[in-house]
Amino acid sequence: MILSRRLFFALWPDDASRRALAAEAGRLAPRCGGYPLPAQNMHITLAFLGSVDASRLAALLELTRAWPAPQGEWTLDRLGHFPQPRIVWAGSQTPDPALLALHAELWQALARHGFTAPQRDFTPHVSLVRQADLAAPDSRLPAPLRWRFDHLALVESQLGDGGSRYRTLACRSG
């Protein structure tokens, strides 16, 4: 039997940013339909790998541990809506160049391990509301949120009855 794990690389917000994002999700959910994501699940996905054979995990753990500690600040100032998969999200009018570079460099490293980057453009975002039938009533966050990022995590997503649970497998921080 081949075991696989649902994996992705992510950046996690600090506690203050997480609380602010959770409050915004709670404010938006009744207006957009759907439900707010739990604060502990809020993150930005840099590279979604999907179902990965467990035999490849050691190489991904090593890649994470050897990664230079990321450093940057991301300002979230806008709201968006992905009609499919029905998500309201927070992002930036102008994404941070360090964040875009981190995404590109990570996929270059993953390509050396046989992973293929998605063919769509990278839209840095934090999902706030799932199963949202409507976009946010405003395209701007009430107040810009500065999120300083300084660690990269390899995360496993475990799907269950109550939604996704995330478990950090490895982390590289500055």
Q: In the annotation, is 125 catalytic?
A: yes
Tokens of 65: 């541990």
C-alpha distances in angstroms, 11 versus 2, 8, 35, 82, 147?
29, 10, 22, 20, 10
What is the spatial distance between Cα 17 and Cα 69, in angstroms, rounded to a whole number?
Answer: 20
Tokens of 8: 């992705």
Catalytic residue among 81, 113, 125, 151, which? 125
Q: In the annotation, is 113 catalytic?
A: no
Bridging pattern class, strands 4-11 and 125-130 = unpaired
Catalytic residue among 43, 103, 113, 151, which? 43
DSSP string, 72-140: EEEEEEEEEEETTTTEEEEE-SS--HHHHHHHHHHHHHHHTTT----SSPP--EEEEEES--S--SSSE
Tell me the catalytic residues.
Answer: 43, 125
